[in-house]
């Protein structure tokens, strides 16, 4: 059985859950409570010295970290259904889009950054929330600009099946939604979010559906 270490709210763990579900790979997830600091406990650090999620154990491979590296591994080791197109230029577009969300924007709002802002820089809670909202929004805006290049046709970022770009888009959009940022005025993004939400494998992976998430949903 595949063993995933994640957290309900983690955008990076969410990406991996969606990919596992889409590829029909069964897994067991252990939630590491990032709010309670469990990622800094000796037990988890022995698995992942970077104190972040996700970490995944599968196929007898040493523990893998970094959601985009895990998605690429899943694609190579379990290629069906594909989450990347076949030709190199299309793959470059999909990967660039994924990186806009997962590299350029998501790392800006993770717990260690929030701690530095309030702890070291002494910004107010309101300023911290503004920071988070700003970069969630900016990621979606930059993504929409990239989507205009190739997502005019098809239901997803490229064509009629989800790719890793859509998984990263979803992780950004759902995180943003948690801070009151909608995609209503970003038409391609909004359409893709709706198309993703209609897929059961993605719906089951949603942050608010995971153990530990706020019960109001």
> Stretches 14-22, 84-92, 169-177, 186-194: which one binds its own copies (CB under 8 A)?
84-92
In the chain, the N- to C-terminal Cα span, in Å, equals 29
Contact between 142 and its own copies by CB under 8 A: the answer reads yes
Contact between 191 and its own copies by CB under 8 A: the answer reads no
* Contact code string over 19-58 relative to its own copies, x by CB under 8 A: ------------------------------xx--------
> Stretches 30-38, 98-106, 179-187, 209-217: which one binds its own copies (CB under 8 A)?
98-106
Contact 57, 3 (CB under 8 A): yes
- DSSP letter for each residue of 161-178: S--HHHHHHHHHHHHHHT
Q: Could you tell me the smallest distance in angstroms from the CB atom of residue 203 to its own copies?
A: 26
Where b means 16+ CB within 10 Å and e means fewer, 119-156 reads eeeebeeeebeebbeebbbbbbebbbebbeebbeeebb
User: Of the two residues 69 and 198, which places its CB atom closer to its own copies in the complex?
Assistant: 69
Contact between 114 and its own copies by CB under 8 A: the answer reads no
> Stretches 30-38, 96-104, 179-187, 200-208: which one binds its own copies (CB under 8 A)?
96-104
Q: 66, 133, 191, 208: which one contacts its own copies (CB under 8 A)?
A: 66
User: What distance lies between CA 88 and its chain's CA centroid?
Assistant: 23
User: Of the two residues 93 and 199, which places its CB atom closer to its own copies in the complex?
Assistant: 93
- φ and ψ at residue 27, rounded to 5 degrees: -150, 165
Residues 109-112: contacts with CB within 8 Å, 24+ apart? 109/135, 109/136, 109/175, 110/52, 111/34, 111/35
Q: 59, 125, 194, 200: which one contacts its own copies (CB under 8 A)?
A: 59
Across the beta sheet with 64-65, what order do the strands follow? Answer: 27-31, 2-6, 55-57, 64-65
The overall longest dimension of the chain from CA atoms, in Å, is: 49
Residues that bind its own copies (CB under 8 A): 49-50, 59, 61-62, 64-66, 68-70, 72-73, 76-77, 88-89, 91-93, 95-96, 98-100, 102-105, 107-108, 113, 116-117, 120-121, 123, 127, 130-131, 134, 142, 145-146, 148-150
């Amino acid at each position: 059985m595949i063993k995933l270490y994640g957290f309900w709210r983690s955008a990076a763990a969410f990406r991996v859950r969606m990919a596992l579900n889409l590829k029909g790979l069964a897994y067991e997830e252990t939630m590491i409570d990032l709010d309670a600091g469990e990622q800094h406990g000796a037990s988890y650090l022995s698995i992942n010295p970077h104190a972040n999620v996700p970490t995944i154990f599968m196929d007898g491979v040493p523990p893998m970290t970094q959601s985009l590296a895990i998605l690429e591994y899943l694609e190579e080791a379990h290629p069906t259904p594909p989450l990347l197109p076949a030709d190199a230029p299309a793959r470059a577009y999909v990967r660039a889009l994924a990186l806009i969300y997962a590299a350029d924007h998501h790392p800006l709002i993770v717990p260690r950054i929030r701690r530095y802002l309030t702890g070291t820089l002494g910004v107010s809670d309101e300023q911290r929330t503004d920071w988070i909202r700003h970069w969630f929004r900016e990621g979606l805006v930059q993504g929409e600009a990239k989507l205009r290049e190739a997502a005019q046709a098809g239901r997803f970022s490229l064509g009629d099946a989800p790719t890793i770009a859509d998984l990263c888009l979803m992780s950004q959009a759902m995180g943003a939604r948690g801070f009151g940022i909608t995609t209503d005025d970003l038409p391609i993004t909004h359409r893709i979010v709706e198309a993703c939400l209609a897929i059961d494998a993605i719906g089951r992976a949603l942050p608010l559906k995971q153990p530990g998430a706020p019960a109001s949903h």
